[in-house]
Structure 1
Amino acid sequence: MKRTISCLQFNISYGNPSENFKKAERLIEAESSHADILVLPELWTTGYDLKNLDTIGDEDGKQTKTWLQKTAKANNVHIVCGSVAVKKKNGVYNTMYIADKNGNLIKEYSKAHLFQLMDEHLYLSSGSADGSFEIEGARAAGFICYDIRFPEWIRKHTSKGAGIIFVSAEWPRPRLDHWRSLLIARAIENQCFVAACNCSGKDPANEFAGHSMVIDPLGHVLAEAGHEETVVKAEIDLNDIDQARGQIPVFEDIRKDLY
């Protein structure tokens, strides 16, 4: 069972949802015939314009969901729609939407862990639901940026069968080494594929790392970007998940009596 995943790494227009929707649509239209699943970065509609999210964020995610479902169906492609700022009555959430190629919204996940070092907790509310879903016949899970520093959160999903981890991020360039190391570690310890889409470019306060990646269940990097705008694409074989877990039975050896 082979699938092709493309990560659309692009320079997000800071605080400009209209321009970002247009750009994402162009990229999706250009890449949809070359992949089964497309992945977008974190907060791709607004960028890291945290102070203005309560103004430029998407009310209940209506615009994003309508656009996503229409775009996925029109291009006959599954889309892991990165994440967007969603305004709700009780706060603004950093939310990932996922649609299948028929235009059905199949998952909504809000970032569980807020990165205090960059003041996310001052402008965003944390989610409380898991990121599990099924796509193209494969059990998967979605996570957002800082989430990858919490292996226990990732393991909760993979222990229930998730074999592909999708990550959307706006990861800063100074911590590029952490980005690469953490993603590879998450793949190895969970014996799963990792498809991670970061953004490129700069905003008024940050320079982003790029280096979107697709990693196999043994930790081999199948494809990796540099710092610039690009598409990172790799074909994965879902049979590799069971093969890796059969070689080293990590999940069978978990000491549930201890942890």
Structure 2
Amino acid sequence: MSTLKVSLLQMDCRIADPEYNFLTARSYLEMAAHDKTDLAVLPELWASSYALDRVEEFADPLVDEPTPDNAFGRFAALARDMNLTVAGSLLERADDGIYNTMVVYDREGRLLSSYRKVHLVPMLQEEEFLAAGDALSTVTLDGHEAGLAICYDLRFPELFQIYTRRGCRMQVMSAQWPDLRQSHWQALVRSRAIENQTYMVACNGVGEFDNIRFCGHSAVVDPWGEVLVDAGTAPGVYTVECDLGSVDGIRQAVPVLATRRPEVYARAEEQAAAEVPAAATV
């Protein structure tokens, strides 16, 4: 299928209140199911919001199917109950730490893919509470590859470039991006779509915690950089169709990927590394 219908669930997630947030998610997923969406995307850490000082309380082991008493299992159950493929990030408890992990569950509640946030936010001292992921992840959606990313990852173009070289026609991202840097959010989401000639599906939250307000403006941007939907600052469900079958034609019309010069970039990287003063590497 070349067309994928996507719903952005722009939630006002209550801090440290998973039960309220699960009820909200269920309500929004019911709306997305009514829209007959193919993929419903939720914000970053949507179940607990940014309660970083309580991650031990809200983290659960990753599970690959519906189960009670586990945030991932309950998310999988929502996917099954609503007959939807869902994506969003939750706190994962692992043997070596707690991760901010994006998961994708299919219509039967089976785990399709998971991605641990690679780039932690230094401004929030996330490294004091969370472990950083060390691998990239893609997911197959109706025969099309999509890359997974979380919030601060948006600032690192290399991640999205790698996904594109792996054949991704879409990038799916959950976020809780602050109002203070709304202009960055909107510019970067469009930039990642344009430079990689992919669809960018970016679901952000609204509301606030600790005097930090999230900016909303969840968006779907096409490979030309056209904003197909911008959710503004209101909570709700925003649905749009993505014509993934058009991506190859766009890449042929403007053959950016075909005219890359990786050998030049590699030499320049080596030269730059050799020229860095010793003090700058500390």
Place the TM-score, normalised by the shorter chain, in its bin.
over 0.9
Q: CA deviation at 1:78?
A: 1.0
Letter in 2 for 1:38: A
Normalising by structure 2, we get a TM-score of 0.88
Q: Which residue of 2 aligns with 1:56?
A: 58
Q: 1:79 aligns with which of 76, 86, 93?
A: 86
Show structure 1 runs of 5+ residues with no match: none
Q: Which residue of 2 aligns with 1:213?
A: 219
- Report the Cα distance in structure 2 between the residues aligned to 1:3 and 1:163, rounded to whole angstroms: 11
1:1-259 → structure 2 map (5 Å cutoff): 1-34=2-35, 35-60=37-62, 63-80=70-87, 82-259=88-265
Q: Is the 8 A contact 1:100 1:135 kept in 2?
A: no
Letter in 2 for 1:20: N
- Report the Cα distance in structure 2 between the residues aligned to 1:210 and 1:26, rounded to whole angstroms: 19
Q: CA deviation at 1:130?
A: 0.9
Q: Is the 8 A contact 1:8 1:232 kept in 2?
A: yes
Letter in 2 for 1:36: D
- Report the Cα distance in structure 1 between the residues aligned to 2:187 and 2:103, rounded to whole angstroms: 26
- Report the Cα distance in structure 2 between the residues aligned to 1:65 and 1:171, rounded to whole angstroms: 22
- Report the Cα distance in structure 1 between the residues aligned to 2:237 and 2:130, rounded to whole angstroms: 29
Q: CA deviation at 1:60?
A: 4.1
- Report the Cα distance in structure 1 between the residues aligned to 2:242 and 2:155, rounded to whole angstroms: 24
Q: Work out the number of aligned pairs and report it.
A: 258
Over the residues paired in the alignment, what is the CA RMSD in angstroms?
A: 1.3
Q: CA deviation at 1:77?
A: 1.3
- Secondary structure at the residue paired with 1:257? helix
The alpha-carbon distance between structure 1 residues 133 and 59, as it changes in their structure 2 partners (threshold 3 A), is closer
Q: CA deviation at 1:233?
A: 1.5
Show structure 2 runs of 5+ residues with no match: 266-282
For residues 178-235 of structure 1, what are the alpha-carbon distances to aligned partners after superposition, in whole Å with 9 as ceiling and x for unaligned? Answer: 0000000000000000110000011123100000000000000000011121222111
- Secondary structure at the residue paired with 2:123? helix
Letter in 2 for 1:4: K
- Secondary structure at the residue paired with 1:170? coil
- Report the Cα distance in structure 2 between the residues aligned to 1:27 and 1:242, rounded to whole angstroms: 33
For residues 134-178 of structure 1, what are the alpha-carbon distances to aligned partners after superposition, in whole Å with 9 as ceiling and x for unaligned? Answer: 111111011000001000111011111001101100000010000
- Secondary structure at the residue paired with 1:97? strand
- Secondary structure at the residue paired with 1:258? helix
